[in-house]
Amino acid sequence: MHLLLDEAQKHGLKSEDFAKAAIMRCGCFQGDQLTASAGTKSLKGLKKKLFTLPARIIFEMKILACTDDRLDIDFHHCPLVAAWQSQGVDDERIAVLCDIAMQGDRGIAKSFGCELKLGETIAKGFDKCEIRFKR
């Protein structure tokens, strides 16, 4: 994503003009598929379909709460931030890229009829990302 937006900027395009909308569309598409495959808009279904054991291992997730209307997860590793850091992206730009990337999760939340609340993030220098889905 960073490289794509970097190239767009080199061609005079402002990534904020299109990136958030495109990532939101992707999140809504994924969310619609997840609700269809889960057969429910319960956040328990989201946990089962999206936050599988392999995903929990990769992102070093800790699921704090899960009900039909609430899903609280802390992520202790972000592969996106690690990749951006390895590409030499500065901290300020990483925070912007993270916000753009989170549009996908916001789109998934929208498909499940809830909102995504974001607390601390690794992209902003914290040791975890606080992800909260709430109906």
* Residue-wise pLDDT tens digits, 35-93: 999 899 999 999 999 999 999 999 999 999 999 999 999 999 999 999 999 999 999 99
What are the E-state strand segments in 60-111? 61-66, 70-75
Quote the CA–CA distance of 68 and 20 in Å, as a whole number: 28
pTM of the entire predicted model? 0.92
Quote the CA–CA distance of 86 and 68 in Å, as a whole number: 38
3-state secondary structure of 96: helix
Of 44, 86, 79, which is closest to residue 61 (Cα–Cα)?
Answer: 79
